Structure 1
């Protein structure tokens, strides 16, 4: 199956490099054609984050969709999970999010959702790929059947109400001082307002997007500024979203970072106690810490592992009846509420536990001691370094070095030309040695 355009999370690359107006136009046309099903008036909702290139891509997509007869509903800057939710709520045939998530502003991407709010399958993406490369001019609509485009002014309010309803009506956030880092991204309006309406005192950083500063020294991938602000203001906690707000990290009152593994542990235990887990366990990826797996086992819960990518987590959840899953990076999927990771909703579930237990976030959120885990990235330009014999031998040697007390995970990134080398185990020195030996071999092969 070809992966010419689509990666692990839609189409992504440098704006006006990989992601050009011409490609966006063809994606709109091809996807619109693929989802023309029935005689009804077809609709697509389009959201975006705050990158400068979002204007260019949005307009090209609108041209593409309207040219094949689809009406377009423009949401403006909105979180990815809001686009997925509104696709279902507004009975649209398609949802599109223009975002490169946690990447810098130079990059952008196109994420696609079906009418059910779920990301598209590999098979549908392959169909769209074939259409992109076909003669699309033969399938354009007649002049009388062209689509229209309009902005949806109520989109922000709809998502805020949706997020608030994920908490019990009798539970508010009164008395909590929260520092919220919006990463200068898609949630810079909706997230602060939702928390404020629930009663929290909200201090916001990363809420002044200018087209260039998305994820720049802020957000879930760079939480240092948030940690400092939490300590400075003696806040109860900090919440860090990423550029499209589908992932979240927490900072406790001491300024310590709480990653997605800890959050899944907290939510899993809370939902287990409330009888809310639809299956006796959760779904995570190969990158989640062994400490989480051991913690869950102590609760009588399992942890299924998938390839990296929230779409693979969700596929396993749907196929096996789980309603909680996610990634160490902070993609937390709560399928009782949504069809993709939702940073704000996941944060609200954590806040519910904090309010009920009336304990500091540091006590609530550090539910297990993570094993030493080291991740290093090796950038490469071309070729397949992992297939080189010296690299294969180095990987085998590292696996033998770690033995049964550790794990080695090596994978190419699905969004950038990087090979990620991760190892973990009880002995930190052994883990570091294993990673360094593999990294050295990959670096030489990639030179």
Structure 2
């Protein structure tokens, strides 16, 4: 049996056949319906809605058409017949789920002086668009009497399938008044273009609002991270520069192994939170200038789980990554780390990256309990821990780019040391990562 979609494939010229977005379909449908109302066309209409909820959006419009048209046939699914029982001239047909019209959006105007056939069939992609407004339809619009006749034959067979007898109306064909036709076509085209423009403007406005909301959301998240960093700095004067260097070192290494720009951006900020749990460590241990006792070190180790508790159960991706880093950055490749003794690739990639940057920064900078080691010594210590403390492949990448790391270290020290009016975190958050990284 011939389907409406077959007419598109066999009858539409390359000019008539187009790919429509949903907003265009709305504009064309409204233009045709408004033309009927504007010129009081006593016609029959056949309309396909993919869902009954889409009809309900047009409810008031179809109350007007119900009073004006000879008959309106509405095809859709999941009809609430109690809601529509007061319509006089509209016949509602509950579509079978297997009917091809389930995937169509059509409007057919049976008026022999002013016929119009708009047919479309949704295009299904392997990854369909999540946003309803971006759905695509293959279709065409025709004002041909011959196309109308073919469409009506299909509709007669379709109605018969659903137990409805339909006789194609023979409306007396009167001579066309070209001036009236020109006015009607002009009205339709201008009304349709206006509708599409309006829908496009609405979509642009919604996208702008969404973009603003996302930017505000990101700003709020960054503000939370910055305040956490201030809290950590308050406990330990060296923490600010250490966190800043960690953010930049880890970004350099992570960018070598991660292809997602979004994840790389998350690392910029998540790395700042890797030691946030030190907020919960007593000053007598955190700031002790000498070697920690066994008992003190056991307490120090709890900064991983304290940090994880601080950052747990967040819905924000950057906080989730911060949680992963805080908990796992002291795990070691050979399984001798803490808090869980994870081994090899059981340790998250992000934490393996941070482990290398963390140890390098600890070795190459002065701390309350030690002086900075020469860079040559730092490199030798790192090499000695290949496939012990560190993921060997990641360590090789880090050391192969050590010149870049060192240039970056010098740039960071210079920029932060010369920062008079801006604190470390304000400077870090107010500038792109490329500001600090030597390319």
Q: Which has the higher contact order (CA 8 A, sep 6+)?
A: 1
Determine which structure has the larger helix proportion and give its number. Answer: 2
Determine which structure has the larger strand proportion and give its number. Answer: 1
Between Structure 1 and Structure 2, whose CA radius of gyration is higher? Answer: 2
Q: TM-score, normalised by structure 1?
A: 0.22
Q: TM-score, normalised by structure 2?
A: 0.22
